[in-house]
Amino acid sequence: MDYKAEIKKLAKERDAVILAHNYQIDDIQEIADIVGDSLGLSIEASKTNNKVIVFCGVHFMAETAHMLAPEKTVLLPNLDAGCPMADMITGAKLREFKAQHPGATTICYVNSTAEVKAESDLCCTSGNAVNVIKSVDTDKIIFVPDKNLGHYVSRFTDKEIILYPGFCPIHNRLTPKQIEKMKAKYPDAEFVAHPECPPAVVDMADHICSTSGLYSYCKQSSAKQFIIGTEVGVGYRLRKENPDKEFLFAYDSFICKNMKKTTLKNVYDCLLNMSNEITVDAEVSRKAVTCIERMLAIPR
Ligand code: 13P
Ligand code: SF4
């Protein structure tokens, strides 16, 4: 079957928009209506006119889309696609953590469950985390779950940032030694890293940005070679938009296997059967959506 053609046809019949994260496999990025980072896709979900949102990404992204557009049907083509970092903290664990640090504003990275968002004052993504931190007026901030992104934003404020020990297993694996080796091999290359990388790796980067920030940076840079400190999925668009530049990934298996679970067949099946709908408990959603909407009101 020509899945790509069939998906296009079905999407039209169902009045569906297909959103895909930058880490999705090339075929999914090719059929998607919009490809973007977590912030960009949240914004798209909040303003789409389509009745159905097919979210090719991981579970928390589909949950966020549902909370921003509760009147739409949000489908996650592969229900096994989760985010191990989001699962490192629960609502109950966050309540305990907050009790240990009274008086602090709680900021959660968008890579978190709806339950955790419901316990937070503000949300952020890697694309707006610094601006979100700067918008807070308390002296103490609890940042969950990513200790690396939290550490990165702490460089831009004098406020006390209380870190939770969560991390992305894929980005956290990158070491300064691996970067030293790559830099020795490709001395003219620029190193661009995602803020989910450990602080010692971030220190070595020429530029730190979200997945979408990476596209604009590499396009405008005069460098011809780049060492990329994030998931290999971004290679699809980087190579398409910059045929004269070379993109080398910081380590060989820089792959989020959850982001790679979604196949064309999954997208086709969920559209055909209108299956894999993601919903959030109304009470949790009512609390969680406030912190997402507060975030969306802050300029990127
Ligand atoms: P972005 O917000 O940069 O798209 O990152 C999401 C993510 O899961 C990174 O690992
Ligand atoms: Fe989660 Fe890391 Fe995969 Fe992003 S790359 S979805 S943070 S496990």
**What beta strand segments (E) does 119-202 contain?**
122-124, 140-144, 160-163, 190-193
How many separate domains does the chain show?
Answer: 3
**Residues 199 and 135 occupy one common structural domain:** no
Q: Which token pair is 71?
A: 């009147």
How many CB atoms within 10 Å of residue 245?
15
pLDDT beyond 90 at 39 = no
Q: Which ligand 2 atom is nearest residue 57's CA?
A: 6
- Calculate mean pLDDT across residues 114-134: 95
Among residues 263, 266, 261, 275, which one has the least CA distance to residue 80?
261
- Structural domain includes residue 266: yes
The CATH number given to whatever domain includes residue 21 is 3.40.50.10800
- What share of the chain in percent tops pLDDT 70? 100
Question: What per-residue confidence (pLDDT) applies to 212?
Answer: 86
What is the greatest pairwise CA distance in the chain? Answer: 58
Q: How far apart are CA 69 and CA 76, in angstroms?
A: 15
- Structural domain includes residue 97: yes
Q: Which residues contact 4 (CB under 8 A, 6 or more apart)?
A: 27, 30, 31, 264
Instruction: Supply the residue whose CA is at minimum distance from atom 6 of ligand 2.
Output: 83
- Calculate mean pLDDT across residues 22-36: 97
Q: Which token pair is 134?
A: 């700067």
At 100 the three-state DSSP class reads helix
Question: What per-residue confidence (pLDDT) applies to 46?
Answer: 87
Instruction: Supply the residue whose CA is at minimum distance from atom 3 of ligand 2.
Output: 256
AA letter at 208? I
Question: Please, what is the Cα angle at 161 between 160 and 163, to 5 degrees?
Answer: 145
DSSP 166: B
- What share of the chain in percent tops pLDDT 90? 94
Is the shortest distance between the CB of 196 and ligand 1 below 6 Å? yes
At 287 the three-state DSSP class reads helix
Indicate if ipTM > 0.85.
Answer: yes
Q: How far apart are CA 231 and CA 42, in angstroms?
A: 20
**Residues 21 and 54 occupy one common structural domain:** yes
Is the shortest distance between the CB of 37 and ligand 1 below 6 Å? yes
Question: Please, what is the Cα angle at 113 between 265 and 22, to 5 degrees?
Answer: 45
**Residues 163 and 184 occupy one common structural domain:** no
How many CB atoms within 10 Å of residue 281?
12
Q: Which token pair is 219?
A: 């396009």
Among residues 170, 241, 236, which one has the least CA distance to residue 28?
236
Question: What per-residue confidence (pLDDT) applies to 300?
Answer: 67
**What beta strand segments (E) does 3-147 contain?**
16-21, 34-36, 52-56, 73-75, 105-109, 122-124, 140-144
- Structural domain includes residue 205: yes
Among residues 157, 255, 149, which one has the least CA distance to residue 201?
149
DSSP 261: -
State the chain's mean pLDDT as an integer.
96
**Residues 114 and 101 occupy one common structural domain:** yes
- Structural domain includes residue 229: yes
Ligand 1 pocket, mutate which of 128, 147, 211, 215 (most atoms under 8 A from CB): 211
How many CB atoms within 10 Å of residue 27?
17
**Residues 180 and 245 occupy one common structural domain:** yes
Q: What spacing in Å lies between the alpha carbon of 92 and ligand 1's midpoint?
A: 24
Q: How far apart are CA 107 and CA 164, in angstroms?
A: 11
Q: Which ligand 1 atom is nearest residue 37's CA?
A: 4
- Structural domain includes residue 191: yes
216-239 pLDDT tens trace: 999 999 999 999 999 999 999 999
Partners of 144 in the β-ladder = 108
Question: What per-residue confidence (pLDDT) applies to 156?
Answer: 95
| pLDDT confidence bin for 40, thresholds 50/70/90 | confident
Question: What per-residue confidence (pLDDT) applies to 234?
Answer: 97
Instruction: Supply the residue whose CA is at minimum distance from atom 8 of ligand 2.
Output: 83
Is the shortest distance between the CB of 170 and ligand 2 below 6 Å? yes
161-209 pLDDT tens trace: 999 999 999 999 999 999 999 999 999 999 999 999 999 999 999 999 9
Is the shortest distance between the CB of 168 and ligand 2 below 6 Å? yes
Q: Which ligand 1 atom is nearest residue 259's CA?
A: 8
Domain that holds residue 204: 176-249
Indicate which ligand has the atom closest to the C-alpha of 168.
2
241-288 pLDDT tens trace: 999 999 999 998 999 999 999 999 999 999 999 999 999 999 999 999
Instruction: Supply the residue whose CA is at minimum distance from atom 1 of ligand 2.
Output: 83
- Structural domain includes residue 254: no
- In the sheet where 160-163 sits, what is the strand order? 122-124, 105-109, 140-144, 160-163
